[in-house]
Each structure stands twice: as C-alpha cells, then as structure tokens.
Amino acid sequence: MKQIINTKNAPAPIGPYNQAVKVDNTLYVSGQIAINPATGELEIDDLKNETHWVMKNMGAVLEAAGMDYSHIVKCSIFISDMGNFGTINEVYGSYFTSNYPARETVEVACLPKNVNVEISCVAVN
C-alpha cells in the first residue's frame, strides 16, 4: 500500500510530486533543495548553509514518516559543480554517525531554481 508523506516542515513540492512516498517499510524521499519552508525563500548564500538546509529538509520529511537519518540506505546527490564536492560531502557526512548509506554523486548541467545541490534518499524502517 502506498502512503503519501507531506509535512509543512519541509518545502512544498514545486511540481506534480510529493515530498515522499512510503511503500511498506520503505520511504522514497524526493529531491530536496535549500528552500526555507517557513519563508519559501532559497537559502543559497553560502554552500555549507545551503547543504545544511537540504539535509534539514530531508530530515523533516524523514521525521514526518517516523524515521531519521539512521534509516537512510541510499542517497542520490546532484551537484552543479564537482568542484563543490568537498564542501557538500563535509556537511552531508556530519548528518551520519556510522553505517553510512550507499550513494552516488553526479554533476549535472542545471538544478531546479539554479541551486547548487539537490539530495534525494531511500530509507527503510
């Protein structure tokens, strides 16, 4: 059975999708970008801050589904410049303590709203 997950603590979808979909014990979280859910504004003034917003938004969606970062088994990271990988990786890594999820990091030509980083994940409860 498919359960739609949405929370006001993460940015509202900007297209025809949901923040996450849960099927059985698996949660598929849509790509998160650095939109402040309280203001609807982008938070891209600083790459570290931007990446923290992405991770916090993903965390809010996980929480709405009764999960947290420890439940993540796979992340997909999309970045606009591979030269930013080190900074993004440092912030991303700070949200995990052990048993890191699988992941890929891909440089892309353009991301929604011209942000620098977007991250999606799959989590299992």
Which pLDDT tens digit goes with each residue over 66-109? Answer: 999 999 999 999 999 999 999 999 999 999 998 999 999 999 99
Mean pLDDT of 120-124: 98
**DSSP characters over the chain:** -EEEE--TTSPPPSSS--SEEEETTEEEEEEE--B-TTT--B--SSHHHHHHHHHHHHHHHHHHTT--GGGEEEEEEEES-GGGHHHHHHHHHTT--SSPPEEEEEE-S--GGG-SEEEEEEEE-
Could you tell me the pLDDT band of residue 14, with boundaries at 50, 70 and 90? confident
pLDDT of 20-76, one tens digit each?
999 999 999 999 999 999 999 999 999 999 999 999 999 999 999 999 999 999 999
pTM of structure:
0.96
Per CATH, the number for 2-124 is 3.30.1330.40
